[in-house]
Structure formats: C-alpha cells, structure tokens
C-alpha cells in the first residue's frame, strides 16, 4: 500500500514566489473610502460604513483581492496542503465601526 504525501504550511508561494506582493486588508470604518499604504507596504482599502450597497462593494473588493492574488499582484492570507492553496479570505476584512461605541474591532469578519 502506497501512502500519499501530506504537507501543510501557513504561507503559500503562489504564481510569483520571488516577487514582493503587498498584503491586502479591507477595513470598514467611519471614514472616507480610500486606499492607503500600510507601514509594511500593505494595501489597505478603507470602506465607509455608510457606503450605499456596502455588501456589493465588499464583494467586489474581495473578488479584486483574490484575482490579484491569482495574478501575483497581492498577498492574501493563505495556507497550502500539498498542491492545493486555500485562501483565508475571512482575514481580509476588519470592521472598525464598533470602536465608535468604545468596543473592540471585529477581526476575521
């Protein structure tokens, strides 16, 4: 009986392993919608919490981030099992709107 190969890692090198790719984060906050570069070169996209059709806006930005990952433009939290790459898109979105009520931000939305 031949056993299969199994390997797991928390960061996957996908498409372009030697290119520096910025990590993408989507942040919902009570601020104007804009793009900002983080201190480590991350791409941070702020979404105003009063944006009309905010759900659609989030879907479009998540789709753009995944597409950018597949094209080798961005990094997205991911892990691999053998040759299969799983994107942890839950880690893309941070909801900072509870901060206005003195509560903690919601990570991994």
User: Per residue in 36-65, pLDDT tens?
Assistant: 877 777 888 999 989 999 999 999 999 999
In a domain, 106, yes or no: no
In a domain, 20, yes or no: yes
At residue 2, the pLDDT reads 52
At residue 20, the pLDDT reads 75
In a domain, 109, yes or no: no
At residue 3, the pLDDT reads 55
| Positions in the chain short of pLDDT 50 | 18
- The Cα 79–Cα 107 span in angstroms is 18
Strands (E), the chain: 8-9, 24-29, 34-37, 43-48, 78-81, 84-87, 93-95
- Please state the pTM of the whole predicted model: 0.72
Per the structure, the count of domains in the chain is: 1
In a domain, 35, yes or no: yes
Q: Which domain, by its residues, includes 70?
A: 8-101
At residue 9, the pLDDT reads 53
The residue whose two tokens read 């950018």 is 68
At residue 17, the pLDDT reads 54
In a domain, 63, yes or no: yes
In a domain, 44, yes or no: yes
In a domain, 2, yes or no: no
At residue 21, the pLDDT reads 82
In a domain, 88, yes or no: yes
């Amino acid at each position: 009986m031949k056993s299969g190969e199994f390997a797991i890692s928390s960061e996957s090198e996908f498409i372009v392993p030697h290119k520096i790719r910025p990590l993408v984060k989507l942040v919902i906050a009570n601020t104007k919608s804009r793009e900002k570069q983080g201190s480590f070169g991350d791409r941070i996209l702020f979404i105003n919490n009063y944006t009309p059709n905010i759900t659609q806006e989030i879907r479009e930005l998540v789709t753009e981030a995944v597409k950018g990952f597949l094209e080798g433009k961005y990094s997205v939290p991911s892990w691999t099992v053998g040759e299969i790459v799983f994107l942890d898109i839950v880690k893309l979105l941070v909801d900072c709107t509870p901060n206005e009520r003195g509560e903690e931000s919601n990570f991994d939305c």
